[in-house]
A and B are shown apart, each in its own frame.
Chain A
Amino acid sequence: MKFRPLLAALALSSGILTSTQAYSATEIQWWHAMGGALGETVNEMAENYNASQSDVVIVPTYKGGYEDTMTAGIAAFRAKEQPHIIQIFDAGAATIINAPGATVPVADLMKDFNIEDYISGVRYFYADSDGKMIGLPFNSSTPLLYFNKEAFKEAGIDAPPKTWEEFEAIAPKLKEAGYIALAQSHSPWIFSENFHSRHNIQLATGNNGYDSTDVKLLYNNDHMKMHWGKVKSWLDAGYYGFYGRAWGDNQDAFVQKKVAMWLGSSGSFGGLTKSAEFEFGTTFLPYWESIIKEPKGTFIGGAALFAMSGHSDEENKAIADFFGYMTSSDNQVFWHKETGYVPITTAAYDAAKKEGYYDSTPDAEVGILQLSQPGGEWTKGYRLGYYVQIRDVMYKHFDDIFSGSASVDDAFAAMEKESNELLVRFSDTYK
């Protein structure tokens, strides 16, 4: 009798029980990482699709956070039980794209695929070095500055800062009004990756890692060190709040009016309109005028949908059909309005504009405008292996800078060394 619960647990965990439902239509498994309100929107879109036709049934399954979803997909692929569609996040892109044979490129899968249909900021992030799109950018966001309008009024400030120089001028006023001027929720993404894009600085050799896996990280540069030296001085002066690495803890500090400005994702907009009990605005990610006079755009964060290999032609056709549905203007506008993620096609962006959505909610457009700012040589993104670990390495050394246990120079030197060791391992593994 001892075995029965064990067997039941085994059966459950391997999905035997869940996959025996009989459908005459093609069933497409979609593993995603969208929890909470985002997950509900995902389910709604899947239901709408299922109701719209009878040949394909999409089964969305929430697999936990981004890393959990990727790990679940990897384990399933190794057991040859992979889902048809999996959502993989920006830092994991190299892991799936550099393993040819794990995925079917979107550009091959979809008929009449034209990369020009997509807005410029999202085109090449999930593409290979030839510019062929591999993953379909699904939830695309970009870092924005959120500011508390009431706090600004109390401190007597008219406009949010465009540059970090302006930030330094207004931060003492906000401190006087009882606020910590700034917090942010993802230092590798906002203060490192997009910092390079905004200032048009190369972040890795080999065309930011797109051309090869045999690359070196270039974070240990004077501009980054200058910026982080400043951030540390802001922290010491009480202009910058650090509430740990967790995204939500820093966002909460903004919602609870401890900090007057918060750097987060354009995708946070929908949630903030519900949780913040004050009027807030959004604006572009500030830049250093001392580094660049005409700042460039940022690139996307978030995640993409990948069609996993090893499925029949019929199933691949069904995936393509679903991808077509998801990228249609109506659905993109729906997704954009529900979540705050940017619409990925120009057609959807135009549709939202035509609808007058940005006249009533101008803040929702800021992310797209920032992504559509003039691109430079180094604004399309990065493709770096073991980047999940590299982000951990970065966090580790940023912690050390903040706590004062390492100087900025030492922290960046150590970061460069440890990251490059990881890149060598990745390059040797994914030859």
Chain B
Amino acid sequence: MKRVQFERSSIPFLFVAPQIIIILVFFIWPAAQAIYQSFLLEDAWGLSSQFVWFRNYKDTIFSESWLQAAGFTIVFSTLVTFLSLALALLLAVKANEVIRGASTYKTTLMWAYAIAPPVAGLMGNLMFHPLIGDLYKFLNAIGWDFNHKLDSFDAGFVVVLISVWKQVSVNFIFFLSGLQGIPKSVLEASMMDCKSSFRRFWTITFPLLAPTTFFLMVINITYAFFETFGIIDTTTRGAPGGATNTLVYKVFQDGFRGADLGGSSAQSVVLMLMVLALTIVQFRFIERKVHY
């Protein structure tokens, strides 16, 4: 029997090399450093260090402030992911049905797409400023005793609102293109079978959008976990009382502001594992329900 032999060539390796190098330099190497550092107690300047096994994990992960941040991160990420997906889907479906002036609606809804999280945070910060913020004044005027500097619910409301607002237009673009990719013939056939547009949406349109929704869910969870850092940093900075502190922000606070490298590395390793686990769950269990 003849074995199929391909001629070995270095060209394919050359093509993937840039990507591999980028992953090695910007992910594998820092991640390995973080794991190594998480087992050390080292002074900030790197002048003395000792190997302490799991001390950093024990000290940080079981601390009250980390548990509080973990709790908030889970609630926050769930809310941000769900709300920004749901709102974007609603807007996309509605904008897709509009016939007159459709492009105006679409452009307006995509408007905020290019805004970076820190900028969104700064804008939100101005709108919720206790002295000059219009939204702050408005919420108090309608009878909500709103003070996000003191009340943890109000502070959570602020960061969720800004994070969702920033993300909705990104999701909107994907949902809209997903909707437009659904074959007209399928929709027309379904119209003959079912009168209720609500049922048609859930039985035909939504399942056909599943690949888009799944992709966006992965992207949005990552966004809520990591990218909202810029929003937290420019608005509440984890206040009041640590109520809006996310895990990523805590890594930054302990490592970059507080110069505790071991503790912050341990936290980032745990965070890395959490996201890894979440991604595995998403791809193993949820993706099975997605039909491409």
> Is A388's CB within 8 Å of the partner chain B?
yes
Residues of A within 8 A of B241 (CB): 396-397, 399-400, 403, 405
Secondary structure type dominating chain A contacts: helix
Instruction: Establish whether residues A74 and B48, one from each chain, have CB atoms under 8 Å apart when the complex forms.
Output: no
Interface residues of A in 212-252 (CB under 8 A from B): 242-245, 249, 252
Q: How far is the CA of A71 from the CA of B59 in the complex (A)?
A: 22
Interchain residue pairs with CB less than 8 A apart (6): A67-B256, A95-B259, A102-B45, A245-B239, A421-B59, A431-B48
- With A396-B65, A402-B150 in contact, is A71–B260 under 8 Å at CB? no
How many whole Å from B286's CB to the nearest CB in chain A? Answer: 33
Interface residues of B in 183-204 (CB under 8 A from A): none
Interface size class of B (residues with CB under 8 A): 35 or more
A224 CB to nearest B CB, Å: 18
The answer on a CB contact under 8 Å between B65 and A249 is: no
| Pairs of residues from A and B, 10 with the lowest C-beta to C-beta distance, nearest first | A399-B240, A399-B241, A244-B149, A389-B258, A67-B257, A102-B45, A403-B150, A400-B241, A78-B46, A388-B258
For A164, the chain B residues whose CB sits under 8 A away are none
Question: Interface residues of B: mostly helix, strand, loop or mixed?
Answer: loop
Q: Is B263 an interface residue (CB 8 A)?
A: yes
Which of A102, A244, A428 is in CB contact (< 8 Å) with B239?
A: A244
Residue from A95, A242, A256, A399 in contact with B44 in the complex, judged by beta carbons closer than 8 Å: A95
B152 CB → nearest A CB, Å: 7
Known: A77-B45, A245-B239. A425 touches B149 (CB 8 A): no
Contact: A418 with B239, CB < 8 Å? no
A104 CB to nearest chain B CB (Å): 13
- Complex contacts, B18 vs chain A, CB 8 Å: 2-3
Q: How far is the CB of B36 from chain A (nearest CB, A)?
A: 14
Is B207 an interface residue when CB atoms closer than 8 A count as contact? no
- Give the contacting residue for A396; candidates B44, B45, B242, B258; CB below 8 A: B242
Cβ-based interface call for B43 (8 A): yes
What is the interface of chain B, defined by CB distance below 8 A to chain A? 18, 41-48, 59, 63-65, 129-131, 149-152, 237-242, 253-254, 256-260, 262-263
Give A384-418 as 1s and 0s: 1 = Cβ < 8 Å from B's Cβ atoms: 00101100110111011011010000000010001
**Count of A-B contacts with CB under 8 A?**
106
Complex contacts, A101 vs chain B, CB 8 Å = 45, 47
Known A-B contacts A67-B257, A243-B130, A244-B239; A429 and B151 likewise in contact (beta carbons under 8 Å): no
Whether B65 and A244, one on each chain, are in contact in the complex, defined by CB atoms closer than 8 angstroms, is no
The residue that A74 contacts in the complex, of B45, B65, B131, with Cβ under 8 A, is B45
* Smallest Cβ-Cβ distance to A246: which chain B residue: B237
A253 on interface, CB distance cutoff 8 Å: yes
Residue-wise, chain A 155-167 has the 8 Å CB interface mask toward B (1 for contact) of 0000000000000
A99 within 8 A of B: yes
A74 touches B259 (CB 8 A): yes
- Across the interface, do B45 and A399 meet the contact criterion of CB distance under 8 Å? no
A338 to B254, CA, bound (A): 35
Contact between chains at B263 and A392 (CB < 8 Å): no
- Interchain CB contact under 8 A, A418 and B65: yes
Is A403's CB under 8 angstroms from B240's CB?
yes
Given A77-B46, A99-B45, A399-B150, 8 more A-B residue pairs with CB atoms under 8 Å apart are A3-B18, A67-B256, A99-B43, A242-B150, A252-B131, A389-B253, A389-B260, A425-B260
Distance between Cα atoms of A228 and B292 in the complex (Å): 61
Query: For the complex, is A70 an interface residue (Cβ under 8 Å from B)?
Result: yes
The answer, among B43, B129, B149, B240, for a CB contact under 8 Å with A429, is B43
Chain B nearest CB, measured from A179 CB (Å)? 14
